[in-house]
């Protein structure tokens, strides 16, 4: 399924985390590696541009962080990004440059490329959001199947067993997710599938490939 390859979903020039993808074919392969990667990358960041807050939390000096937000490491928050009121960052998270993490948004084990917007009541878990990806208010990534089985990505003719029980969504560059959408575990979305609605997401089962 070449349409699921990293290069067909993401522009790696638009993330500080580009190195984590170099030995992978499919983007979900990096999900188990995010924690260790953040710690290694964080320790190499320029101290003139980033400061260390607490344990393994690196924040760009140009980022805006609301006092009411909660950040658990390891995490990296990129330049000129904004983390708003009551955002909940649960660890293993990279937030790209010029991104917005909005009020009451929860992130866990996720990579957000540059200029991503998750601005209102979003949940992003075990997921990767590409350059300029946007999630409308209340949209979430469901990351565990109800039967707790391994998540399989498939299209009309092929399928790939990911080996993962926790896998939310791979949202490609510039993709738009409509307000109130629930993305089932293992969802893959590219730009051409642009305005995803709740109806579309519910139409497909939890392992369907949306491209």
Which residue is catalytic, options 85, 120, 134, 210?
Answer: 120
- Catalytic residue check, 134: no
Tell me whether strands 57-60 and 50-52 are parallel, antiparallel or unpaired. Answer: antiparallel
Q: Could you write out the DSSP letters of every residue in 91-129?
A: SSEEE-TT-EEEET-EEEEEEE-TT-EEEES-EEEEEEE
Alpha-carbon distance 90 to 134, whole Å?
20
Positive or negative torsion for Cα 83, 64, 112, 17? negative
Residues 6+ apart with CB under 8 A from 153: 1, 4, 26, 28, 159, 160, 162, 186, 188, 207, 209
Query: Which residue numbers are catalytic?
Result: 120
């Amino acid at each position: 399924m070449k349409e699921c390859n990293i290069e067909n979903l993401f522009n790696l020039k638009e993330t500080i985390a580009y190195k984590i993808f170099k030995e992978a074919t499919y983007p979900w392969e990096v999900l188990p590696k995010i924690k260790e990667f953040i710690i290694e990358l964080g320790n190499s960041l320029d101290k003139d541009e980033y400061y260390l807050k607490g344990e393994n939390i690196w924040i760009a000096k140009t980022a805006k962080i609301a006092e009411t937000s909660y950040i658990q490491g390891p995490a990296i928050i990129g330049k000129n990004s904004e983390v708003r009121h009551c955002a909940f960052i649960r660890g293993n998270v990279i937030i790209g440059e010029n991104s917005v993490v909005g009020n009451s948004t929860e992130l866990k084990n996720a990579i957000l490329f540059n200029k991503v917007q998750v601005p209102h009541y979003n949940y992003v878990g075990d997921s990767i959001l590409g350059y300029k990806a946007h999630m409308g208010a209340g949209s979430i990534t469901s990351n565990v199947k109800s039967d707790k089985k391994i998540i399989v990505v498939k299209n009309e003719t092929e399928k790939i067993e990911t080996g993962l029980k926790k896998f939310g969504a791979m949202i490609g560059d510039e993709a738009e997710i409509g307000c109130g959408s629930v993305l089932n575990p293992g969802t893959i979305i590219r730009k051409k599938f642009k305005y995803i609605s709740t109806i579309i997401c519910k139409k497909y089962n939890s392992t369907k490939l949306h491209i």
